[in-house]
Amino acid sequence: MSINLPTLISIIIYLIGMVIIGWMAARLTKNLSDYVLGGRRLSAGVTALSAGASDMSGWLMLGLPGAIYVSGMGSIWLPIGLAIGAYINWQFIAKPLRVYTEVANDSITVPGYFENRFRDTSKSLRVISAIVILVFFTFYTSASLVGGAILLENSFGMDYILALWIGAAVIVSYTFFGGFLAASWTDFVQGILMFLTLIIIPIVAIGELGGWSETIQRIGNIDTSYLNVYSGATAIGVISLLAWGLGYFGQPHIVVRFMGIKSTGKIAKARFIGMGWMILSLFGAIFVGFAGIAYFADAPLANSETVFIMFSQVLFNPWVAGFLLAAILSAIMSTVDSQLLVSSSALAQDFYKSIFRRNASQKEEMIVGRIAVLGIAVVAILLGYNPESKVLELVGYAWAGFGAAFGPVIILSLFWKRMTRNGALAGIIVGALTVIIWSQISGGLFDLYELAPGFLLGALSIVIVSLIDRAPSKEIEEQFSTYKAKLKEA
């Protein structure tokens, strides 16, 4: 495929814009709190769209339309599960977590919150959490970079490996300098671009097919099973797709946005913006895949996850197509920057300072964090060298790992006074190991998405070990009471 110059120029303009935003954010990044959490000064709109954009990643533009393109409405249970999980996370977790992380010694990372919440002087909670973050984010980041490489490869005939390195270079450049503010501001812009694109493409595609009724008729003529939400569905299959919603409670790159919002008073507005953006974007992605069934019926796509890319190329002027394809890069970049940032903070704060240099200055930690961004990105790139990787599968594994390891711990730490440090440790370890082991076995019950058993067993481990363990210290109980009082005032 020859390179389309107008499309390429449009994408380059977009990428330069992202780097400029990163440079502007860097000028406001003065210390580690700024770099890791933006100084807790995000507005409601930036919090909402940056949380949504960093959440959705390339799977919203590639994986979900591809799943719908392959199986029709039978895949709709996945976005339903995600919408329910996201709403519960905003409604019941956002405010408590924002309050407790500030009460617990102004914690600026998830591992730091766990350590301060349970007064863990052994550093075991912080270190184990950091290991989980680095392991699963390696897969998550790699999945996103694979998505970017697929985009550049299919759009411009670019070599897959070269595309992998180019995409990573841009993301690393602005995350390296600007930290959390750069990630959040670029995510805000990227979220708007993703939203507009997911509205425009399905409307134009369905219009080209002759309208909604004609589209439905064409798809029905191909195979009526595409129109049936229960087509090919099994109880385990439906539960597995709905279980994706459980993952929200444990995603570090999402919950850290709750920690960074300016005040609890802005959470209701952020929830309204965030959920509105998410539901409309999910519908857009669904309709992209759905319209693709009819539009590409005579020439089926070799890779189902390229349906969005192909629509951008065949329906629009090359200049417009460039900005539409940039929306896919937006989805990818908005997730990778957040993942790199959380991973770098885990290395800088939770390994370097906690174990090797307890007296390290904030400037020194920022330098270590930036070096970590480079190192993690290189590892993720090397893991993404396999062009046969499926974005949705890689994301699904990492999503399950975080959801099972951290989700139960975060929820119970906010609502259960009797929870102990050893209970939290058990929950993290059991949840993570269940996902790793379960995913290696198939057949029967083991076809269930590993997040569901991982989340359940992780929660049970917390409860059982906490009840067996000694009751929390007086200091921990007093801190919990202070948090509850502040939560009522918020």
**Per-residue pLDDT tens digits for 25-80:** 666 655 555 555 545 556 676 667 666 666 666 678 888 899 899 988 888 898 99
* Confidence (pLDDT) at 171: 66
- The segment with the largest mean pLDDT, out of 152-166, 292-306, 341-355, is 292-306
Average pLDDT over residues 312-323: 84
Q: What is the CA radius of gyration of the chain?
A: 22
Angle between helices 77-88 and 235-242 (to 10 degrees): 40
pLDDT tier for residue 2 given thresholds of 50, 70 and 90: very low
Residue 261, φ and ψ in degrees, nearest 5: -65, 150
First vs last Cα of the chain: how many Å apart? 57
The more confidently predicted of residues 301 and 144 is 301
| Rounded Cα gap, residues 159 and 164, in angstroms | 9
Yes or no: say if 45 and 273 are a contact pair by the CB < 8 Å rule.
yes
Q: Domain locations in the chain?
A: 5-385
Is the pLDDT at 286 greater than 80? The verdict is yes
* Confidence (pLDDT) at 196: 86
**Which fold is adopted by the domain 5-385?**
Sodium/glucose cotransporter (1.20.1730)
* Confidence (pLDDT) at 30: 58
* Confidence (pLDDT) at 96: 95
Nearest residue to 113 via CA among 121, 102, 122: 102
Is the pLDDT at 351 greater than 80? The verdict is no
pLDDT tier for residue 1 given thresholds of 50, 70 and 90: very low
- The segment with the largest mean pLDDT, out of 103-112, 159-168, 256-265, 291-300, is 291-300
| Rounded Cα gap, residues 135 and 140, in angstroms | 9
Is the pLDDT at 188 greater than 80? The verdict is no
